[in-house]
Amino acid sequence: MLNIRRITHSSDPTWRQCVAIYRDVFPSDEREPEAILCDCIDSGEYHLWIAEQQGKVVGFYILSLYPDFNYVLFSYLAVAANKQGHGIGRDLCRHAITTGQSSVNVKWLLVEAQARQAIYYGQLGFLMLQYCYLAPSFDSTDSIPMSLMAISSDNQIKHIEINELNAIVSHLFTVGYQLAPSDQRLEQQLSRQQTPIALIAWG
């Protein structure tokens, strides 16, 4: 049986199990420094949810809540290598969608995804923004092509205004990726499109 619960402090013994999965699943350019993860979990900015089986962590995910900017970021969904393919990731994703939509009164639940993960998230209800999105690398000045995907609190919404999206991206890049406001990667991302961005159902 899968038990999903929130961890509120990095001093929790299960955090070290999460770190081991984190290092194993994510390449270095996608890994936020672990000290920052600890600080954000301890401050409550990041909500860490873990999945346990027989008292051992088998997966986790993080929700970052930013009600002032009208979005929640779903990130770092990970399942232990020896437990992949058993539906744990799907269960965690569905839990994240339910939790993210009910945690705070915000318009958008967002996730960044590379091609393989985008298919997975699309099958679980996320819509793809028709938008060229390049996420900053954590360990260099490079960028990583990704899809930015969303679930809206209003199922009738089929696009996002560019000014609204730019405000979210500016916040995500400067807070989440720790970029300076003058960083060229942020400037380039904000200039990529000047019209409303359509939300496209996967497939």
| Measured CA distances, 147 to 111, 129, 136, 175, 200 (Å) | 8, 7, 13, 19, 11
Pick the CATH number of 3-201 from 3.40.50.2300, 3.30.2080.10, 3.40.630.30, 3.40.50.2020: 3.40.630.30
pLDDT (tens digit, 9 = 90+) per residue, 39-86? Answer: 999 999 999 999 999 999 999 999 999 999 999 999 999 999 999 999
Per-residue confidence (pLDDT) for residue 156, from 0 to 100: 86
Per-residue confidence (pLDDT) for residue 203, from 0 to 100: 67
Residue 194 pLDDT grade (very low, low, confident, very high; cuts 50, 70, 90):
confident
Give the residue carrying structure tokens 């409550």: 44
Q: What is the pTM of this model?
A: 0.93
